[in-house]
A = this chain, B = another copy of it.
Amino acid sequence: MAMIELVDVTTRFDTTTALEGISLEIEPGESLALIGPNGAGKTTILKILGGLLMPSAGEVRFDGDLARGEVLEKLRLHATMVFQKPVLFGTTVYKNVAYGLRVRGLPENQVSERVLDALGLVQMEDFADRQARNLSGGEQKRVNLAMAIAIDPQILLLDEPTSYLDALGTKIVEGFIQRIREERQTTVVIATHDLFQAVRLTERAAVLEGGQLCQVGPSSQIIREEVEALIFSDQECNVFHGIAKNGTSEGERHLTKIELGEAVTIEALTDTTGEVTVRISPEDIIVSREPVLSSAKNTLRGVIRAIDVDDSIVRLTVDVGIDLVAIITKSSLNLLSMAVGDRVYVTFKASSVRVY
């Protein structure tokens, strides 16, 4: 049974709809990344998962029960959220971290032990007696993390857990998240803009956009697609429609053949079959005079259709049945002395093909 289940959840604030028809199940012990652009609804989902916000429509279930009344209180007790912006009580760091423990009625000696442990973990043990609100941004975020860590919740909801943190802090926090996942089977949901962090820390990722859930799937795959989509969103080239056919299975990723129009077939790593959109990053394409036997899965023959020189960057359009754009350096162009009409080979790795 899912630990937390959102059924067709919609959240409206006066004029805006922050979430629309979100259904999502979170299994005990799993790790989920919430990714999506600013205003996508990540924070809103986290608040709903933490029982801090009631959806305008739809259901939230915790361990199968509708989250309201006592169930809601249980949810709040088991799920702890670390907010995007640091929020602290106007007292000392120690008392901030102790709050969640005292609320749970822990004896004072255990409280102090766990507070110091949690502070130690985020390297803030020397700050115990400082006024929390006078700390620097990163220090505040660390205290917020310590507050959540200290109560050792079953479900940890992290909203950009490493924003404001320095490199070392980020590393410590990421390490800690991995450790509690392994050692205590804590369920972790992380909203982050750092896609690599999402891959590092989670198994599953959900992509939100404009309040809607666009995709849910294994992090590594989803994030890869996202990374590419983002990096090349301003160069709308090498985007094709095609049909993906079931291919060989390699561990969790599938090597799939995709037929693009005009009898061009390429290989890509994807689970998807049927109609797909693919994008091949122009910077990933190697152009050569001779075919290349290499680890790169895709080698296609074609004719140069156009050469656009722009500063030091050259944009080659190669007709391989479809028009592929490759970006090479000016000196490569000179070295290969290519001209429009020349026959060339284009090579790219299967992992360079993004499938949507």
Contacts and interface: CB of A to CB of B under 8 A. Distances in A.
Task: Select the residue from A85, A252, A283 with max chain B CB neighbours within 10 A.
Answer: A85
Interface residues of A, number: 74
Nearest to A136: B39
Contacts of A37: 138, 166, 168-169
B290 A296 contact: no
A294 B289 contact: yes
A326 B38 contact: no
Contact of A38 (B43, B166, B253): B166
Interface stretch (A61-69, A176-184, A343-351): A343-351
B39 A135 contact: yes
A292 B269 CA distance: 24
Interface in A16-70: 16, 36-39, 42-43
A103 interface: no
Contacts of A142: 38
A251 B312 contact: yes
Copies in the complex: 2
Given A137-B43, A331-B255, A332-B296, A164 B38 contact: yes
Given A250-B331, A295-B288, A332-B296, A38 B138 contact: yes
B332 A297 contact: yes
Given A137-B85, A137-B160, A167-B193, A329 B38 contact: no
A286 B347 contact: yes
A112 interface: no
Contact of A331 (B233, B283, B297, B312): B297
Interface string A187-229: 0000001010000000000000000000000000000000000
Nearest to A41: B136
Interface in A146-194: 159-160, 163-171, 193
Nearest to A255: B331
A349 B166 contact: no
Contacts of A335: 295, 297
B329 A250 contact: yes
Contacts of A331: 248, 250, 255, 297, 350
A47 B136 CA distance: 12
A109 interface: no
A253 B312 contact: yes
Given A39-B139, A250-B311, A286-B296, 7 more contacts: A168-B230, A168-B233, A250-B330, A286-B347, A292-B294, A296-B332, A297-B331
Task: Give 4 closest A-B pairs by Cβ, nearest first.
Answer: A38-B138, A288-B294, A250-B312, A251-B312
